[in-house]
Amino acid sequence: MLGLVLPSGFPASVHPPYMAYAGWQFTGMAASAAAGVMSTQALLYAMGLGAGALPLAATLNWVIKDGLGQLGGVAFSSLVSTRFDANPKLWRVVAAVSLDASMVLELLSPLAPAYFLPIASVANIGKNVSFLAASASRAAIHNVLSLKGNLADVTAKSGAQTILACMAGTGAGVTLSASLGSEFHAIVPACLCLSVVHLGANHMSMRRLGIPTFDHQRLELVVNGMADGDRSRGMPSPQDIAAQEDVVAYAVREKIGLDLSPTVVVGSRLKEAVKGWGELEELCRVCEGLPFLLSVRGDLAHRTGEVHVLLLEGCGAREVLAGSYVALVAKRLLLERGLRRSRGRRRAGTLTRGGKEVAPTGDILPEVIEEALRQGAALLASPPAPPSPIVSSSPTDTQGGQEEVGEAPTLQEQGDAARHGRMIARELSARAERSGWNTSALFLEKAGAVRLRLVRLPENCGDSSPGGRNAAAAAAAGG
């Protein structure tokens, strides 16, 4: 019997969290189906009152509200179609909240039967949004759970589980509705309790799910885990991060500006990250040899800071991951200095205030850039190192595949930033893949991220210093 609802070869064919995830999802869907019975009953009652018991009017209202709901769903899909893959857990939560909010609206419709059509239409839009958000995130979630290329089987069995849950929930809803009758004061508390069960079960199922792709929150949790945890355990896995991840709170903090930590933007434009030629020349000097420029800025007077990663032409996924990693290490250093986010700054997207572009604040902090590179390399060193170590890349220092860790000399004594950057790019991707992360699919760059081209101009073209010539070329190419 279990073979009808579980993937072939279970449990060897799926990841360990599958059973807990599926169990919570079944509970949530059953509760939602039961609540749906009562909300539909309320909607039909409101339609009968508002239509004056005329069948044609009632039918017309029902058709119109369905049509408006579908149009709303199409509009929602077009607005967020490119964001579903970045955070499927968030969109699954959005789907659950949207569905429950729609059922509450339907439940309240008998209070205003004259406004049946607008209330029912808005509720139906919410249901279509829920359906689209759940459908769009389903493939990414099932891909995480499948273990042996059996995505289709996992998806099919998930559909079977959904049908059984809806059947069980519908039966429970009909029984509950019959026992409660049509008394409004009895139906509302029961429906609200079922909605709470649905949301709680959905939340618990998401906490069991480890998404193996990096976005800002997951990468920051990994960096913090490596810096603050037991380094002998290696890099945290997606499953380790799943229990710490709070997609709703994180999204809300970012959306309404409650996150006061220094902003980190990957893929910034030149005018968002530097103030002029002198600063860009300084960045070119400090980050020489890296596939990105790291602009760490601080306004010590106002105690604010921000970090920008300027991606250079030819940056691939490995380089974007390395740049984002170093930027988050730099963010920790700014927090240690007591710096926070500037007013009007957001983690991703164009930095604006009042509809106008916000110029970079503060000054470049080259010492923080250098320390971020040193600490970033140290966190990836093996075995664990002292507080400020650096990895030696001398051929004579490696035995048995281990890199020797010694006292951290200055950046100049080591040569330049390129050594740290190469080590970070190489080791970070390797460690991440060994820990179960997918480093080929990243969701770290801001919308509209650009690549800059650094070209050395002829000696007779403006500033003769290498940094100045590179700065001029970068400005022309990157805006």
pLDDT at 45: 81
Lowest mean pLDDT across 173-182, 318-327, 344-353 = 344-353
The HSE-up count of residue 155 (CA atoms within 13 Å, CB side) is 14
How many Cβ atoms are within 10 Å of 152's Cβ, its own excluded?
Answer: 11
User: In the structure, what pLDDT confidence band is assigned to residue 359 with cuts at 50, 70 and 90?
Assistant: low
Residue 385, pLDDT above cutoff 70:
no
Residue that wins the pLDDT comparison between 471 and 146: 146
pLDDT at 186: 87
pLDDT at 99: 95
Q: What is the mean pLDDT of residues 200-205?
A: 95
Query: What CA–CA distance (Å, rounded) separates 310 from 265?
Result: 9
Q: Which helix (H) or strand (E) holds 298?
A: strand 292-299
Query: What CA–CA distance (Å, rounded) separates 33 from 41?
Result: 13
How many Cβ atoms are within 10 Å of 329's Cβ, its own excluded?
Answer: 25
Interstrand relation of 304-312 and 356-357 (parallel, antiparallel or unpaired)? unpaired
Residue 242, pLDDT above cutoff 90:
yes
Residue 473, pLDDT above cutoff 60:
no
How many Cβ atoms are within 10 Å of 53's Cβ, its own excluded?
Answer: 9
Instruction: Tell me if 19 sits within 8 A of 170, measured CB to CB.
Output: no
Single out the residue of 231, 213, 142 nearest to residue 436, CA to CA: 213
Phi, psi of 459, deg, nearest 5: -60, -30
Residue 33, pLDDT above cutoff 60:
yes
User: In the structure, what pLDDT confidence band is assigned to residue 251 with cuts at 50, 70 and 90?
Assistant: confident
pLDDT at 243: 87
Query: What CA–CA distance (Å, rounded) separates 156 from 263?
Result: 42
pLDDT at 418: 85
Query: What CA–CA distance (Å, rounded) separates 96 from 201?
Result: 10
- The pLDDT mean for the chain works out to 81
pLDDT at 351: 44
pLDDT at 327: 98
Tokens representing 295 are 């602009």
Residue that wins the pLDDT comparison between 309 and 404: 309
pLDDT at 53: 47
Residue 87, pLDDT above cutoff 90:
no
Q: Which helix (H) or strand (E) holds 305?
A: strand 304-312
Domain limits of the chain? 2-207, 214-478
How many Cβ atoms are within 10 Å of 420's Cβ, its own excluded?
Answer: 28
How far is CA 127 from its chain centroid? 23
Q: What is the mean pLDDT of residues 277-286?
A: 90
* 3-class secondary structure per residue, 340-400: ECCCCCCCCCCCEECCEECCCCCEECHHHHHHHHHHHHHHCCCCCCCCCEEECCCHHHCEC
Residue 371, pLDDT above cutoff 90:
yes
Fold type of domain 2-207: Growth Hormone; Chain: A; (1.20.1250)
Q: What is the mean pLDDT of residues 307-316?
A: 93
Residue that wins the pLDDT comparison between 393 and 445: 445
How many Cβ atoms are within 10 Å of 332's Cβ, its own excluded?
Answer: 18
Tokens representing 25 are 């999802």
pLDDT at 114: 85
Q: Give me the percent of the chain exceeding a pLDDT of 90.
A: 48
Phi, psi of 438, deg, nearest 5: -95, 110
Residue 83, pLDDT above cutoff 70:
no
Residue 292, pLDDT above cutoff 70:
yes
Interstrand relation of 263-266 and 304-312 (parallel, antiparallel or unpaired)? parallel
For 138-143, the CB contacts below 8 A with 24+ separation are 140/84, 140/85, 140/88, 140/211, 141/88, 141/89, 141/92, 141/209
Q: What is the mean pLDDT of residues 82-111?
A: 88
Lowest mean pLDDT across 9-18, 86-95, 224-233, 317-326 = 224-233
Number of helices and strands in the chain (H, E): 16, 11
pLDDT tens digits for 399-457? 333 333 333 333 344 446 888 988 999 999 999 999 999 998 888 988 778 888 876 65
Which three-class secondary structure state does DSSP give residue 264? strand
